[in-house]
Amino acid sequence: MLEELKKRVYEANMLLPKYKLITFTWGNVSEIDPETGYFAIKPSGVEYDELTPDDMVIMDLEGNKIEGKYNPSSDTATHIEIYKGMPDVKGIVHTHSPWATSWAQAGRGIPCYGTTHADYMYGEIPCVRNLTKEEIEEAYEKNTGVLIVDHFKDTEYMAMPAVLCKNHGTFTWGKNAKDAVHNAVVLEEVAKMAARTEMLNPQVQPAPQELQDKHYYRKHGANAYYGQK
């Protein structure tokens, strides 16, 4: 069942090494099927050059395995919370991509220093706090998702499809798995340039708001005119 979904999720997972977002198995991609409410996700700890579409695991939003010979990604509970709390999200990516993870380790959000960032993400990319000891012990992966959902509550989360988890890594999302990977690539590129920007000008300020607005709305919303309609 859901062969097309598994194929798309497999292909999106294979983009992670292609875009150098991961080392070994340090990442995972999922996509949800709106009809059934099931999602497909990478199995835990299987090497990328051995993966096949058939290895993808089908889960429901209660955390039950519907189909698959492997255990799902150990971050599955985080994906579930995001799908449940942010219903426009249809694809999710987790990586430890090196520049973005360096910002996460530094405990800092990424200011919007230019149009590369503003083209895809509106405002500062947030870095959410560490979980408390209690939250970790109770349900680490689930509470990571709870924290993210809580941060984005009452916001336009499709306009900021990325978050850094302090001392950990990144989650990005999108309207499907491939779109979420696209945002993971943008995040890493933006993280790299922002770090170098600060190296070149330690007093740098974010890009003017009107420039951020122009670029974001050139590509998104009713008045977008970038691309082929």
Does 114 bind its own copies (CB under 8 A)? Our answer is: yes
Only one of the segments 34-42, 79-87, 108-116, 146-154 lies at the binding site for its own copies (rule: CB under 8 A); that segment is: 108-116
**Of the candidate residues 38, 39, 83, 113, the single one contacting its own copies (CB under 8 A):** 113
Per-residue DSSP letters for 152-208? HTTS-GGGS-EEEETTTEEEEEESSHHHHHHHHHHHHHHHHHHHHHHHH-TT--PPP
Tell the residue number behind the tokens 């922002």, with chain if given: 194
CB 10 within 8 A of CB 2: no
Listed in sequence order, the residues at least 6 apart from 27 whose beta carbon sits closer than 8 Å to its beta carbon are 13, 16, 21, 93, 94, 95, 96, 97
- In the complex, the smallest distance separating the C-beta of residue 100 from its own copies, rounded to whole angstroms, is 10
Strands 162-165 and 127-128: parallel
**Of the candidate residues 13, 30, 78, 101, the single one contacting its own copies (CB under 8 A):** 101
- In the complex, the smallest distance separating the C-beta of residue 77 from its own copies, rounded to whole angstroms, is 11
For the record, the structure tokens of 41 come out as 């996700």
Only one of the segments 32-40, 60-68, 109-117, 172-180 lies at the binding site for its own copies (rule: CB under 8 A); that segment is: 109-117
Does 211 bind its own copies (CB under 8 A)? Our answer is: yes
- In the complex, the smallest distance separating the C-beta of residue 150 from its own copies, rounded to whole angstroms, is 18
- In the complex, the smallest distance separating the C-beta of residue 87 from its own copies, rounded to whole angstroms, is 27
Does 214 bind its own copies (CB under 8 A)? Our answer is: yes
Does 103 bind its own copies (CB under 8 A)? Our answer is: yes
Other Cβ atoms closer than 10 A to 113 = 22
Listed in sequence order, the residues at least 6 apart from 206 whose beta carbon sits closer than 8 Å to its beta carbon are 111, 112, 113, 124, 212
Q: Would residue 19 show up in a list of annotated catalytic residues for this protein?
A: no
**Cα 94 versus chain centre, distance:** 5
Q: Would residue 54 show up in a list of annotated catalytic residues for this protein?
A: no
CB 9 within 8 A of CB 31: yes
For residues 20 and 75, what is the distance between their CA atoms, to the nearest angstrom?
20
Does 52 bind its own copies (CB under 8 A)? Our answer is: no
For its own copies, which is the closer residue by CB, 33 or 166? 166
Tell the residue number behind the tokens 């993210």, with chain if given: 148
19, 48, 55, 119: the active-site residue: 119
54, 88, 213, 226: the active-site residue: 226
Residues that bind its own copies (CB under 8 A): 23-24, 26, 43-46, 70-71, 74, 96, 98-99, 101-108, 113-116, 119, 130-131, 133, 136-137, 140, 167-169, 182, 185-186, 189, 192-201, 204, 207-208, 210-211, 214, 218, 225-229
Known catalytic residues are 119, 226
